[in-house]
Structure 1
């Protein structure tokens, strides 16, 4: 519980310092961040909304579907847990009523337009016709951007567990294994160590150019490239996200060369990390490395922040004006597409911005991981 109190206090201070009467937080990552309660249904059943309501006076309420009440009361430190009955009342209508109870005659309300459905926004407008709704996407993103020591520790542990599971499953794979067999071993090891799998990209051979391909029954063949991008959720709700590229047996000279070029671009980008520079500068460093090595560069971004949310603010993209600050955690993930060979190469590692530069939270892999033939 103590972990979540400081972040709630920061959110209260942001609301109190604004010209808003209250703020409605509705995105799964931000409500988990503020409440301490992870509700799976917010993601898999998005119409079953949950809200954290913070008023300018400092009151905090947590509104959930009534079937989630037990979990909300057990897992959240927010004492004022309110409920609505699904299908009897729309969650947006219920939160509008709660808002009027906690903040009579509201005039300006902050919310998350990127997370709120058009239908829920219409219901809020109908229930609160005299209110002006203002985007609070950026303030909550900035609040989540700087990680506290316990958040950094969770991300580092989750990342290292993921890397260990990846390495073990690949290097111990039996000849003749299928994509699904190797992937299952990987996920089993992650779960044994406490991570719940969250996404499942695993491709081989001609499928490695499929950016988000899932594991299938294809049997791995000697010389096959393997590309994976996997992650899980740690018990404290923080995520891992890691990409690696491997090969069945010894790599060809072209495969080894491609991987070394990709690894060099990632290394140069990581080494450029330091506080005070624009995030977009990292994108440019990566693009310049590709150009020097004569690699086609088409990526819209080459990484992102991460925490409870998978893609948190900021993304490492052109034009991003956010400045690197100590406590930011970034996944740096360049991708190399060799269309002449029909192969995709991908690496992804977690980096902490420190007072003087950076610290690796996961260890990059300098060579292609080799599976036994």
Structure 2
């Protein structure tokens, strides 16, 4: 397995840059100043510590100039930097904002920029950017980045398929260990070990394996985590492979429960999923995914029913807490959604299934291939 730091494939990063420049033009942005890790990787193709814990203050780590198409990147070394970003376009980290002002003002095209977008800011940075771009109006640049990232290029779909494949292999390894007496922690460990064997050591989700509650629709069971007869065990395998999120969710029953009740619950999930899949149509409102639960007679879950996936989580986010936002969103070809079906029955537990769906003009295409439990 290669251990050197490598940039994203040329075709992958080129397609993304073309989308960014097109949306800069559509949003009338002469320059972009970026500080968010996923946005920087999307534009540059340079890897980094995008998924480490904690928060980070905003600083101008990347500058894109539309007129020239040039990218300037904060980096003190060349390792992992794509060869189409020359060494002279790199600038070092500094604690002195005046140094950033000097660097950015020296970039060709910044002095005459009329509109400059930034994906985040704070009062100090706003003052600094005003000095960097003396003739420009400073605006929200995240809108243009979200518009670019919501539609995946063919190369991005390939990257997502790879990430999903790692997640599904990991899921299969964990399912093979499911039996009465094993703990949630042991199953989670088997899943994460399999992901690491596949070259991925960064999980995309915090919860990996849990027994669904027979007493409460959403609550986790908190009694030591040992799997017992009749439990319905949910697995959410999520990985970050080369920056892209791959996810799959499955629920598996442990022998010893009420077989008839379990089968009935899975039939309810099948009926719900048929409605969710039908809602994943090009041109449909994202709120149709929420309506699918109502049509099926199921309660909306607390987690998002659907969310865009890519280099992190992309638009849209379809959740019961944001119905107006979902009503404003239209599904478009090229969007990739992580869609969740969730049904629960008192005394039995819950069935959670999560699929990655590519929106196409011909209809939804499942990117996940893991089998569902069947009696």
SS of the residue corresponding to residue 245 of structure 1 reads: strand
In the other structure, the counterpart of 2:251 is: 245
Distance in 2, Cα, partners of 1:345 & 1:322:
27
Q: Which aligned pairs between 1:1-373 and structure 2 lie closer than 5 A?
A: 1-40=10-49, 43-44=52-53, 46-47=56-57, 49=59, 51-64=61-74, 66=76, 69-73=77-81, 75=82, 77-79=84-86, 81-86=89-94, 88-89=95-96, 95-102=100-107, 103-104=110-111, 106-113=113-120, 116=121, 120-121=125-126, 123-124=128-129, 131-173=136-178, 175-198=180-203, 199-201=205-207, 202-204=209-211, 206=213, 218-235=225-242, 237-252=243-258, 253-289=260-296, 291=297, 295-299=298-302, 301-309=304-312, 311-317=313-319, 318-319=323-324, 320=326, 321-338=328-345, 340-341=346-347, 343-363=349-369, 365-367=371-373
1:177-199 deviation line (CA, Å, top 9, x unaligned): 22111111111112222333323
Equivalenced residues, count: 354
CA positional deviation for 1:349? 0.3
TM-score, normalization: structure 1? 0.81
* Distance change >3 Å, CA 47–CA 203, structure 1 → 2: same
Distance in 2, Cα, partners of 1:11 & 1:279:
24
**Alignment RMSD:** 3.4
Distance in 2, Cα, partners of 1:151 & 1:206:
37
CA positional deviation for 1:271? 2.7
SS of the residue corresponding to residue 210 of structure 2 reads: strand
Distance in 1, Cα, partners of 2:334 & 2:80:
29
CA positional deviation for 1:240? 0.6
Where structure 1 has 5 or more consecutive residues not aligned to the other structure, the ranges are: none
Distance in 1, Cα, partners of 2:79 & 2:182:
40
Distance in 1, Cα, partners of 2:36 & 2:216:
31
* Distance change >3 Å, CA 341–CA 325, structure 1 → 2: same
Distance in 2, Cα, partners of 1:159 & 1:214:
28
* Distance change >3 Å, CA 146–CA 250, structure 1 → 2: farther
- For the Cα contact (< 8 Å) 1:238–1:307, is it kept in 2? yes
1:274-309 deviation line (CA, Å, top 9, x unaligned): 2222222232223322x2xxx333547411111111
Distance in 2, Cα, partners of 1:307 & 1:212:
29
Distance in 2, Cα, partners of 1:281 & 1:139:
25
- For the Cα contact (< 8 Å) 2:290–2:300, is it kept in 1? no
CA positional deviation for 1:154? 2.0
- For the Cα contact (< 8 Å) 2:212–2:220, is it kept in 1? no
1:101-142 deviation line (CA, Å, top 9, x unaligned): 2211544211124xx456644654576676432112222112
- For the Cα contact (< 8 Å) 1:208–1:344, is it kept in 2? no
Distance in 2, Cα, partners of 1:356 & 1:30:
30
Distance in 2, Cα, partners of 1:214 & 1:22:
50
Distance in 1, Cα, partners of 2:124 & 2:237:
33
CA positional deviation for 1:36? 0.9
Distance in 2, Cα, partners of 1:178 & 1:194:
25
